[in-house]
Structure 1
Amino acid sequence: MTEYQPPGEPPRGPSADPSGRSSGETGAVYDAVVLAGGAARRLGGADKPGVRVGGRALLDRVLTACADARTTVVVATPRPTVRPVTWAREDPPGGGPLAALDAGLRHTTADLVVLLSADLPFLDRRTVAGLPAALGRGTADGVLLTDSDGRDQPLVAAYRTASLRRGLTALTDRHGALTGLPLRRLTGALDLIRIAGPVASFDCDTWDDIAAARARIREHGHVLDEWISAVKDELGIDLDVDTAALLDLARDAAHGVARPAAPLTTFLVGYAAARAGGDREAVAEATRRAVALARRWAEEDTPSADAPAGSRSAAPSAPGTASDATPGAAPDAAPDARPDAG
């Protein structure tokens, strides 16, 4: 687990361009490879990419964050996703992160590749865009985030594709195959830039991590943005919403409505319905999907029904309380000890 550091907003992004421009605007064209085939042993073998935080599957949250990639490859068994992707599978399945990376790279053509795990609930598009943008300005092989303890997070990173391919070829020549080799065998030989990113690199290895992520998005400073983002993903809307103006309008029209999610959600439903033709059926379908999302959102306030029997643990205290750092507790697993990192 990567330690979560509340409170406050995530940083603008690792080495983000001072102008605030995205990677596309700074010329950093990249492909993305998402590793989503880990065994999730610390989740009792649950389908981790499909576990929901804020009504959205973890994998879908990551795919939204890397939506600016020219090509996105997900290394896992195919499943429905929030946007179209290219699917790949390591041979044999379950062969570890290096075998999975090799399988994903075979479908990429860009000079830069963003490498991500599928369990990053707080990753956003600005952070992802900042990775290849930072790498493009220097000569290093890659740039990765580190957690609050300074540990490398090689699955929240951007690399030069040629450097990865050279390293994978050398490891294959040395060991005969990539199966079972830890990711550090590759990254340890690379020249890497390290940037602190404790929020964006927070990953969900345990049910306690899932509970902490679900609690965080419901905090006052995050809940509205998270909800609107979830609704837009659910309805297929790529639109910058001026929430302040809409809330002012809703307040004036409804004389101080206390639940701002309601008017914003209905606006997005109306927008999605208009795009779909604006007829009765379009409104009904958009409403149905938003209602289903709201029900999934509410269900997460109860003990998780998707946790395998015997694997659930007591929900942690709110992030930032004394229970976050229990004296004598076992240290967090290093990145390469996680199922996704080999």
Structure 2
Amino acid sequence: MTSNEPAAHDAVVLAGGGARRLGGADKPGVRVGGRALLDRVLGACSDARTTVVVADPRPTARPVRWAREDPPGAGPVAALDAGLRHTAADDVLVLSADLPFLAADTVRRLLTALRAGAAEGVLLTDADGRDQPLVAAYRTAALRRELAVLTAGEGGLTGLPLRRLTAGLDLTRVPDPVASFDCDTWDDIAAARARIREHDHVLDEWISAVKDELGIDLDVDTGALLDLARDAAHGVARPAAPLTTFLVGYAAAQAEGGPEAVAEAARKAAALALRWAEEAEQEKAEQQEADKPGGSGPDAG
């Protein structure tokens, strides 16, 4: 690994709870913004070298490794132990499968804070200041050390709460009431669904959902594409907006390019739309001049 490459990390996602407050519903599969909660979390940690989901296998938007605590339903500490057995990186993300607003930038922030300090873990706190140990990055060795201590105790890991594990760790806390929001009840699900449809969030949420659905991992300047659509609609015709943005994407794909290819294709299309608009304005001005009394139109003289 060169100095310019990010350090490798793994991710363990706990997705095997009973969801009692959801009436036993399949919580990881509940959709928010058209995507299963589990897939939203998997999208946020897609940079992990290995992602282990502790639950019974199910279809997911991207490939993962599956694990199960023994016995199933033995609790979060036992589930974490089962997941860690499939990891090898020095740092590991530990996430629950019900975080509708977890994003890749939050994951990077957790990992950056962990690597910049001496703490054994960095976790988010929620709106009430409570620790959220399932939205966190940890040093893998520290987790294994504490798991070994708990395993040696009477009764082992079954039924233990996560606070028994994290109590022995040196932790850094980062307040984030949005990314730490989890869905334990149907009211939480309703609140999450309502939030993503708010004006300030809906476009980003929609673009993320479409990319996930189509299997696209590409960051583009959505502002530039929206400007292009506006220029095509105003300078050419309203139906030209979606068709033009489609053709820009197709051109970038044909060029086998990334964000730069999209930006270049959008620039060319925007310049063309501007030329169309300028021609239309010129023709309009010439027609107005010709329509004046004594003008130089085709019927003049």
Using the size of structure 2 for normalisation, the TM-score is 0.78
Q: Is residue 177 from structure 1 mapped to residue 156 from structure 2 by the alignment?
A: yes
Q: Quick one: structure 1 residues 240 and 27, their matched pair in 2 at CA, closer, same or farther if it must change by over 3 Å? A: closer
Q: Is residue 211 from structure 1 mapped to residue 193 from structure 2 by the alignment?
A: no
1:264 positional shift: 9.3
- Give the residue type in structure 2 aligned to 1:203: D
Does the Cα contact within 8 Å between 1:62 and 1:123 map onto a contact in 2?
yes
- Give the residue type in structure 2 aligned to 1:222: H
> Which residue is 1:131 aligned to?
110
- Give the residue type in structure 1 aligned to 2:168: A
| Identical aligned residues as a percent | 81
Q: Deviations over 1:184-239 (max 9, x none)?
A: 11001111001101100000001111111111111111111110110011001111
Which of these residues, 16, 37, 53, is aligned with residue 32 of structure 2?
53
Which of these residues, 162, 165, 168, is aligned with residue 186 of structure 1?
165
1:266 positional shift: 6.9
Q: Deviations over 1:19-57 (max 9, x none)?
A: xxxxx9673421000000000001000000000011000
Q: Deviations over 1:143-184 (max 9, x none)?
A: 100012211000000111111111111111112421111111
> Which residue is 2:209 aligned to?
230
Does the Cα contact within 8 Å between 1:232 and 1:268 map onto a contact in 2?
no
> Which residue is 1:255 aligned to?
234
1:269 positional shift: 11
> Which residue is 1:156 aligned to?
135
1:270 positional shift: 5.8
- Give the residue type in structure 2 aligned to 1:37: G
Between Structure 1 and Structure 2, how many residues are aligned?
251
> Which residue is 1:20 aligned to?
none
1:256 positional shift: 9.1
- Structure with higher Rg: it is 2
Q: Is residue 87 from structure 1 mapped to residue 66 from structure 2 by the alignment?
A: yes
1:241 positional shift: 1.9
Structure-2 separation of matches of 1:106 and 1:271: 43
| SS, match of residue 151 in structure 2 | helix
Structure-1 separation of matches of 2:235 and 2:85: 55
Q: Is residue 195 from structure 1 mapped to residue 180 from structure 2 by the alignment?
A: no
Q: Is residue 39 from structure 1 mapped to residue 18 from structure 2 by the alignment?
A: yes
Does the Cα contact within 8 Å between 2:232 and 2:244 map onto a contact in 1?
no
**Structure 1 unpaired stretches of 5+:** 1-23, 278-342
1:129 positional shift: 1.2
Q: Quick one: structure 1 residues 91 and 56, their matched pair in 2 at CA, closer, same or farther if it must change by over 3 Å? A: same
1:254 positional shift: 1.8
Of 247-256 and 103-112, deviating more is 247-256
- Give the residue type in structure 1 aligned to 2:169: L
- Give the residue type in structure 2 aligned to 1:127: T
Using the size of structure 1 for normalisation, the TM-score is 0.69
Of 136-145 and 149-158, deviating more is 136-145
Structure-1 separation of matches of 2:247 and 2:144: 43
Moved over 2 A (4+): 24-29, 262-275
**Structure 2 unpaired stretches of 5+:** 257-301
- Give the residue type in structure 2 aligned to 1:93: P
> Which residue is 2:42 aligned to?
63
Which of these residues, 77, 87, 97, is aligned with residue 56 of structure 2?
77
With CA pairs under 8 Å and 6+ residues apart, which has the higher RCO, 1 or 2?
Answer: 1
Q: Quick one: structure 1 residues 245 and 269, their matched pair in 2 at CA, closer, same or farther if it must change by over 3 Å? A: closer
Q: Deviations over 1:49-76 (max 9, x none)?
A: 0000110000000000000111100000
Q: Quick one: structure 1 residues 140 and 41, their matched pair in 2 at CA, closer, same or farther if it must change by over 3 Å? A: same
> Which residue is 1:115 aligned to?
94
Structure-1 separation of matches of 2:166 and 2:158: 16
| SS, match of residue 116 in structure 2 | coil
> Which residue is 2:272 aligned to?
none
| SS, match of residue 93 in structure 1 | coil
Does the Cα contact within 8 Å between 1:40 and 1:205 map onto a contact in 2?
yes
Does the Cα contact within 8 Å between 2:228 and 2:245 map onto a contact in 1?
no
- Give the residue type in structure 2 aligned to 1:50: G
- Give the residue type in structure 2 aligned to 1:188: A
Structure-1 separation of matches of 2:23 and 2:248: 37
